[in-house]
Structures are given as structure tokens and as C-alpha cells.
Amino acid sequence: MIQIIIITLALSFLNCKKSLSDLKEEEEERVFKIQQFYKEKIKNNYTINNSFSNREEAITAFLKEISENKKSLSICDEMESKEILFPNSYNTNTMISVEMPDRAWDVISIRQKLGLNSIQAKLENLKINEVKINWEKQIRDLNSLKGHVPREILVKTDKREVYLKEIKLVIEHNNQFKICVVSL
């Protein structure tokens, strides 16, 4: 009886099995279609709501909102991420470049919440006196956007100094700056 079950399972597995090259080809085609989808959505001009005039101001305002327990408007929301960040990041070899917007947002929003919670735990109810940012020297070319990556952020508060690494990307477009990626 066990031999019959094993033979049946083996035969059904063989019937369903695709070759590795077929699977690879299907995946390459899927990724190509996603990247074409994003490429077609890139615009030359965007209006970024609640943006700032420089990258330091964007981070400082965001951190003050977090420390004061305010709802943050200084970070890209779902719509801005899907309509502005994702299309312009289609060729970056990240998860965004291989997933459709809804699926990418599902993962990114979870990572964002974890990053926001981490920052909030570090800054909650602290008065921010000074923010110092160590930036990566190379600014990323993200099609219509520029990507500024903070290496480390030192926040001096009334009670202590806090180091942050959760802010991963500040986007820039036509002198509009906004935090777009926060994660652990």
C-alpha cells in the first residue's frame, strides 16, 4: 500500500514539475513586466506634499513630530510611495523592483511601522535640541528623483544623546525633500 502511495506521489510530482530553465524564464518575464509597468509611470514632474527645502530640515521635522507623538506627515505615505518612489526605483535591485505596488507596499509598510516604533521608543517625550546627520557621499540617481542616504543620525535631547539608523532614504525632486524609507 505504501509503495502505491509513493509511486502515485512521484508520478504526480513528475507531471507538475517544470524545468529549472522554464521557471527562470517565467520569473525573468514576470520581473520584466513589473519593471515595464513602473517605467511607464515615471513622470518628469511631481508635487510632493508636506515636503521640505532641504534634507536636514526633512529629517529634523520628522523627528520632532515623532518625539511629540504627532501623526507624521513628513514621511511618504502609501500613495506617494506607490506613485513616486516605486516607479523611480524600478531599476535598483530591491524588492520594489521585482514586486507590483500593492505587494511591495504590504512588506514596506510593515518594515516602516517597525522603524517608526523603534524611533518613537527612543525619542518619545524628549525635547530635541540638535540633530546631526552623517550622509553617504554618493547621492543615488533614482530616475526623476535623487536619493539621499543618512548613515547615522545623532539626536541631542534635553536628557540624552540618541543614535538612529532607521531612516534609510530621503528623496529629492525639484528642491522638494521628504523621508521615504524608514525601517529597522
Residue extents of the structural domains in the chain: 51-182
Q: Render each residue's pLDDT in the chain as its tens digit; 184 residues.
A: 566 666 665 655 555 556 778 888 899 999 999 999 999 999 999 999 999 999 999 999 999 999 998 888 899 999 999 999 999 999 888 888 899 999 999 999 999 999 999 999 999 889 999 999 999 999 999 999 999 999 999 999 999 999 999 999 999 999 999 999 999 8
Are the beta carbons of 39 and 144 closer than 8 angstroms? no
Residue tagged 508636506 (cell numbers): 50
Residues 27-36: contacts with CB under 8 Å, at least 24 apart: 31/97, 31/98, 34/90, 34/97, 34/98, 34/99, 34/100, 35/90, 35/91, 35/97
pLDDT confidence of residue 95: 87
pTM for this predicted structure: 0.86
Residue tagged 502505491 (cell numbers): 4
Are the beta carbons of 135 and 149 closer than 8 angstroms? yes
